[in-house]
């Protein structure tokens, strides 16, 4: 999977393959080094590496020699001095605003830096383990915080936050990281992190000269989804890469093939410039079909709509040629804030969306909070297995007032445009009926208060929990549509965590079990006379378009960035030939063969789009 740049262009983009070991060239730090991860968001960025490390994340790990101990200690002491200057500087500015107690705390911060035991312990560990000082210091501090955590005194326990803050500053200096927030920058940067939370990712929204590279994650993790929504190239699943990188190193991130290249040669950069130019040409070509319908060669019409996370994406969505919004992930409205959004704020957002979408529909999904979409405005509950825990509709039913507030907003805003709504993570009939009963209650209250709203709003469900999919025929009688969430459906059906890079090779949507359940859902919907769409990442992946077309889905909803390609793919296909392909795949037990067959088919029809 490791390639030189000339062969990159021919690389077939297979992302469901098992990880290959990284090849790391350590003798010459200026030599070009390639790191293979998982392609998460398309695009190429040439820029400088910026390491983004949180305390909880894994620290770079490097073996050192005995003779390096003195220089590592020197680095450490320098970082302590710089942190001290930084804190004294901050103190000068903020002291007039602090009361005596807070000022004393500030001094306690400074004392941490002068603690002789700290130096002693770091030195001992350096000698014993012969590893880099950042890693040693990280261990020492974590042990210290653990021991404080066990203390009776709440005062001591509360000091953990201060200690972590000081340590973070020290680590930033050790790692040569200029600021705590790497988000303000003018030059192109590639942010490399172990994990980027959604809150981190949201902070780079609108910064076009940015790319992400993370050690964890997969194509369907929400940070990857967000990168695509923002048009930011990204590579995820670059395991253990942090220890090999330095701040400021020149690099190229190739989001098409999941590659991070450090110290690229002129030849490599040239290769990427050619690739970039080819992508731009393709983009221009695809613009010609922007206002055309997504219809197959033999006349099968498919609605092609877009997924929306933040309202700021609306311009990109409509310039992509999308026919409305197939999935609005409303949970993003609740992110990065301490209190839930007021109803009027939510209402304004939905009104904007409803008006912009006309005459097309916008499918508003009630909040799918939970799993990796964590928010601060609800009390956090630690769960051993959050993906199987209280998320989506389960959480909504447990926080009825929050849910009702959202339903009120959706019902009111639906008066202004073609708004439909759907519930996430429905696992069975009772849950659907309970949610609908709350919807009815909200309608009743609005009627009572004489507030105008859309009485006959269409209500659908996400089909993403296998138990609901298995009774799709029964569920279909109670809803207006299905939208298949393949990200979760594949995760739950195959028991493969969608965000776990180490098993991502098993996350195969072409698994015959997946194809069979997809067929069940589509057939059940059609038998009941309702339409069915796909809004998971599969909808935006041209490798699988023949499969989804052949299954007979009515709508595909994808990130705006993929809409032009998918439209072209649909226009190149023949519905009946795709049906034949599906018939073959349904009877093939081998998931890899199915995957290869599907990709080969797509390659044959529209290789340039892959
Ligand atoms: C899905 O599961 O496919 C989906 C679209 O929902 P989300 O990615 O937000 O879980
Ligand atoms: Mg989902």
Which residue, judged by its Cα, is nearest atom 1 of ligand 1? Answer: 485
Task: Say whether 319 sits in a helix, a strand or coil.
Answer: helix
pLDDT at residue 112 in the model? 74
Helix 133-149 / helix 154-174 crossing angle, nearest 10 deg: 170
Distance from C-alpha of 545 to C-alpha of 553, rounded to nearest angstrom: 10
Check: CB of residue 113 under 8 Å from CB of residue 83.
yes
pLDDT at residue 233 in the model? 95
Comparing C-alpha atoms, which of 18, 503, 501 is closest to residue 223?
501
- Domain 298-609, CATH number (from 1.25.10.10, 3.20.20.60, 3.65.10.10, 1.10.10.10): 3.20.20.60
pLDDT at residue 157 in the model? 63
Question: pLDDT tens-digit profile of 403-413?
Answer: 999 999 999 99
Is residue 235 predicted with pLDDT exceeding 70?
yes
pLDDT at residue 403 in the model? 98
Nearest atom in ligand 1 to the alpha carbon of residue 329 is: 9
Burial class (CB in 10 A: 0-12, 13-18, 19+), 406: buried
Q: Who's near 381: CB < 8 A, 6+ residues apart? A: 390
Evaluated on CA atoms 127, 128, 132, 136, the torsion sign reads negative
pLDDT at residue 306 in the model? 98
Distance from C-alpha of 208 to C-alpha of 231, rounded to nearest angstrom: 7
Confidence of residue 180 (pLDDT cuts 50, 70, 90): very low
Q: Which ranges constitute the DSSP H helices of 115-153?
A: 116-129, 133-149
Is residue 15 predicted with pLDDT exceeding 90?
no
One fold for both 1-285 and 298-609?
Answer: no
Give counts: helices (H), strands (E), the chain. Answer: 22, 17
Burial class (CB in 10 A: 0-12, 13-18, 19+), 332: buried
Which residue, judged by its Cα, is nearest atom 4 of ligand 1? Answer: 485
Across the range 335-342, mean pLDDT stands at 77
Which range has the top average pLDDT, 185-189, 223-227, 241-245, 426-430? 426-430
Q: Which ligand is nearest to the CA of 331?
A: 1
Across the range 247-256, mean pLDDT stands at 94
Distance 318 CA to ligand 2 centre (A): 24
Confidence of residue 590 (pLDDT cuts 50, 70, 90): very high
Query: Quick one: tokens of 82?
Result: 């710089």
Confidence of residue 152 (pLDDT cuts 50, 70, 90): low
In this structure, the number of other CB atoms found within 10 A of the CB of residue 348 comes to 15
Nearest atom in ligand 1 to the alpha carbon of residue 424 is: 6
Q: Which ligand is nearest to the CA of 489?
A: 1
Helix 429-448 / helix 400-413 crossing angle, nearest 10 deg: 60
Helix 512-527 / helix 575-586 crossing angle, nearest 10 deg: 130
CB-proximal residues (5 Å) to ion ligand 2: 464, 485, 488
Domain boundaries, the chain: 1-285, 298-609
Check: CB of residue 444 under 8 Å from CB of residue 407.
no
**Considering the chain, what is the average pLDDT of its residues?**
87
Question: pLDDT tens-digit profile of 340-383?
Answer: 899 999 999 999 999 999 999 999 999 999 988 877 678 767 78
Q: Which ranges constitute the DSSP H helices of 528-574?
A: 545-551, 563-572
Distance from C-alpha of 511 to C-alpha of 514, rounded to nearest angstrom: 5
Is residue 553 predicted with pLDDT exceeding 80?
yes
Distances (CA, A) of 391 to 326, 372, 395, 401, 489: 21, 9, 5, 16, 14
Residue whose entry in the numeric block shows the structure tokens 């197959």: 296
Is residue 579 predicted with pLDDT exceeding 60?
yes
Name the pTM for this structure: 0.77
Query: Quick one: tokens of 218?
Result: 């997969």
Q: Across the beta sheet with 189-193, what order do the strands follow?
A: 33-36, 259-262, 250-254, 44-52, 189-193, 210-214, 234-236, 38-41
Residue 328 β-bridge partners: 308, 364
Is residue 458 predicted with pLDDT exceeding 60?
yes
Confidence of residue 20 (pLDDT cuts 50, 70, 90): very low
Under DSSP, the state recorded for 20 is P
Distance 103 CA to ligand 2 centre (A): 47
Question: pLDDT tens-digit profile of 269-309?
Answer: 999 999 999 999 999 999 999 999 999 999 999 999 999 99
Query: What whole-number percentage of the chain has pLDDT above 90?
Result: 66
Is residue 24 predicted with pLDDT exceeding 50?
no
Confidence of residue 14 (pLDDT cuts 50, 70, 90): very low
Check: CB of residue 536 under 8 Å from CB of residue 487.
yes
Evaluated on CA atoms 381, 387, 392, 397, the torsion sign reads negative
- Ligand 1 site-directed mutation target among 329, 371, 466, 559, most atoms within 8 Å of CB: 329
pLDDT at residue 94 in the model? 52
- Ligand 1 site-directed mutation target among 364, 368, 496, 499, most atoms within 8 Å of CB: 368
- Cα 406 to its chain centre, rounded Å, is 24
pLDDT at residue 421 in the model? 98
Confidence of residue 37 (pLDDT cuts 50, 70, 90): very high
Confidence of residue 26 (pLDDT cuts 50, 70, 90): very low
CATH class of 1-285: mainly alpha
Distance from C-alpha of 566 to C-alpha of 475, rounded to nearest angstrom: 29
Task: Say whether 213 sits in a helix, a strand or coil.
Answer: strand
Across the range 458-479, mean pLDDT stands at 98
Query: Quick one: tokens of 309?
Result: 């996370």
Under DSSP, the state recorded for 323 is -
43: left (phi over 0), alpha (psi -120 to 50) or beta: left
Check: CB of residue 528 under 8 Å from CB of residue 548.
no
Confidence of residue 187 (pLDDT cuts 50, 70, 90): confident
Q: Which residues carry out catalysis? A: 222, 535
Check: CB of residue 258 under 8 Å from CB of residue 235.
yes
Lowest mean pLDDT among 85-99, 359-373, 448-462: 85-99
Report the relative pairing of strands 418-423 and 361-365 from DSSP bridges: parallel
Query: What whole-number percentage of the chain has pLDDT above 70?
Result: 85
Across the range 490-513, mean pLDDT stands at 95
pLDDT at residue 30 in the model? 79
pLDDT at residue 385 in the model? 93
């Amino acid at each position: 999977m490791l390639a030189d740049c000339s062969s990159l262009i021919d690389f077939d983009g297979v992302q469901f393959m098992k990880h290959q070991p990284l090849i790391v060239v350590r003798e010459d730090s200026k030599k070009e080094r390639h790191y293979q991860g998982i392609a998460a968001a398309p695009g190429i960025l040439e820029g400088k590496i910026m390491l983004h490390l949180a305390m909880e994340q894994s620290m770079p790990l490097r073996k050192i020699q005995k003779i390096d101990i003195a220089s590592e200690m020197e680095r450490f002491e320098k970082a302590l001095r710089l942190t001290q200057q930084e804190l004294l500087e901050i103190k000068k500015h903020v002291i007039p605003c602090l009361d005596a107690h807070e000022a004393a705390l500030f001094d306690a911060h400074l004392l941490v830096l002068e603690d002789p035991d700290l130096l002693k312990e770091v030195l001992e560990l350096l000698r014993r383990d012969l590893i880099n000082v950042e890693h040693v210091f990280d261990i020492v501090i974590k042990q210290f915080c653990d021991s404080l955590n066990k203390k009776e005194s709440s005062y001591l326990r509360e000091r953990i936050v201060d200690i972590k803050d000081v340590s973070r500053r020290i680590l930033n200096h050790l790692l040569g990281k200029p600021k705590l927030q790497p988000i303000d920058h003018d030059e192109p940067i590639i942010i490399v992190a172990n994990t980027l939370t959604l809150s981190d990712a949201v902070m780079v929204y609108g910064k076009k000269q940015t790319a992400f590279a993370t050690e964890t994650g997969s194509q369907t993790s929400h940070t990857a989804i967000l990168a695509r929504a923002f048009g930011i190239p990204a590579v995820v699943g670059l395991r253990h890469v942090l220890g090999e990188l330095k701040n400021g190193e020149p690099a190229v991130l190739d989001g098409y093939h999941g590659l991070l290249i450090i110290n690229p040669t002129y030849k490599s950069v040239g290769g990427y410039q050619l690739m970039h130019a080819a992508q731009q040409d393709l983009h221009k070509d695809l613009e010609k079909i922007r206002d055309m319908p997504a219809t197959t060669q033999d006349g099968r019409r498919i609605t092609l709509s877009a997924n929306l996370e933040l309202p700021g994406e609306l311009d990109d969505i409509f310039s992509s040629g999308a026919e409305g919004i197939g999935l609005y992930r409303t949970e993003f409205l609740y992110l990065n804030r301490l209190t839930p959004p007021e109803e009027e704020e939510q209402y304004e957002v939905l009104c904007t969306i409803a008006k912009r979408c006309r005459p097309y529909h916008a499918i508003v999904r009630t909040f799918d909070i939970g799993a990796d979409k964590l928010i601060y405005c609800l009390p956090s509950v630690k769960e051993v297995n959050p993906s199987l825990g209280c998320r989506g509709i389960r959480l909504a039913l447990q926080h009825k007032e929050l849910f009702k507030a959202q339903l009120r907003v959706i019902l009111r805003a639906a008066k202004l445009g073609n708004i439909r709504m759907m519930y996430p993570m429905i696992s069975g009939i009772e849950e659907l009926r309970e949610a609908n009963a709350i919807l009815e209650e909200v309608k009743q209250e609005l009627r009572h208060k004489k507030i105008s709203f859309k009485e006959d709003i269409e209500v659908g469900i996400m089909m993403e929990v296998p138990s609901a999919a298995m009774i799709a025929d029964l569920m279909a009688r109670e809803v207006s549509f299905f939208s298949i969430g393949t990200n979760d459906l594949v995760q739950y059906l195959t028991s493969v965590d969608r965000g776990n890079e180490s098993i991502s090779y098993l996350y195969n949507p072409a698994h015959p079990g997946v194809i069979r359940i997809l067929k069940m859902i589509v057939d059940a919907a059609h038998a009941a006379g309702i339409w069915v769409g796909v809004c998971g990442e599969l909808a935006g992946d041209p490798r699988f378009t023949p499969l989804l077309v052949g299954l007979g889905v009515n709508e595909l909803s994808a990130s705006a960035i993929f809409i032009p390609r998918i439209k072209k793919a649909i226009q190149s296909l023949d519905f009946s030939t795709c049906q034949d392909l599906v018939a073959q795949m349904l009877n093939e037990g081998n998931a890899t063969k199915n995957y290869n067959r599907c990709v080969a088919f797509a390659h044959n029809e529209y290789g340039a789009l892959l």
